[in-house]
């Protein structure tokens, strides 16, 4: 009788463990979270970066330090070619900087309201800092997922979202 109770108890424990394992797998507890990465690189006179604009679609951002031109290109889901082109000149936003600006550029994800209508802002922001003056501004890309899915070209200007001074004192080269 005692052995029979032990067998039933061990079968019940095995059943609970197997049921919990199946339930955890069914609800995604064993699934790995996807990794999202962006890339940034700069040289003496320009910087490039990538950032998400929509699910599975990134933009390639390019900043020319000499002209202040910020540009972006987005690949079409349908054609696999660049179909979205955007631009903006950032020099007018950075007040009181030197003749040779020292820019830095990174991207970050933006979980902000994207608006309504055919054109919304992308899922990432572009942060541009000018190291000498201590100013940083964030820019958003206007993006139409409908045009991208149809393989149609799109273009526009970046929106300046916000920014300002992040350093109290102006730094001069020695």
From 104, 124, 87, select the one nearest 46 (Cα to Cα): 104
DSSP-derived secondary structure for the chain: -HHHHHHHHHHHHHHHHHHHHHHHHHTTTTSPPPP----EEE-SSEEEEEEEEETTEEEEEEEETTT-EEEEEEE-TTTSSEEEEEEEE-TTTSTT--SS--EEEEEEE--S---SSS-EEEEEEEEEEETTTTEEEEEEEEE-HHHHHHT--EEEEPEEEEEEE--SS-----
> What mean pLDDT is reported for the chain?
80
Per-domain boundaries in the chain: 1-31, 40-165
Q: Confidence band (pLDDT; 50, 70, 90) for 69?
A: very high
Q: What is the pLDDT of residues 1-37, one digit of tens each?
A: 555 545 666 666 766 766 666 666 655 555 655 555 5
Residue 165 has a CB neighbour count (10 Å cut-off) of 12
- pTM assigned to the model: 0.72
């Amino acid at each position: 009788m005692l052995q029979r109770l032990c067998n039933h108890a061990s079968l019940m424990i095995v059943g609970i463990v197997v049921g919990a394992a199946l339930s955890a797998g069914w609800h995604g507890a064993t699934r790995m979270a996807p990794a999202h990465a962006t890339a940034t690189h700069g040289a003496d006179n320009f910087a490039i970066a990538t950032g998400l604009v929509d699910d599975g679609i990134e933009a390639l951002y390019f900043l020319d330090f000499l002209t202040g031109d910020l540009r972006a290109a987005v690949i079409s889901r349908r054609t696999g070619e660049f179909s979205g082109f955007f631009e903006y000149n950032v020099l007018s936003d950075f007040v009181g900087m030197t003749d040779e600006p020292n820019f830095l550029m990174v991207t970050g994800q933006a979980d902000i309201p994207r608006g309504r209508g055919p054109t919304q802002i992308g899922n990432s922001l572009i942060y541009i800092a000018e190291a000498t003056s201590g100013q940083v501004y964030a820019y958003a890309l206007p993006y139409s997922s409908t045009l991208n899915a149809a393989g149609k070209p799109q273009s526009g200007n970046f929106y300046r979202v916000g920014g300002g001074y992040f350093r109290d004192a102006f730094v001069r080269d020695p």
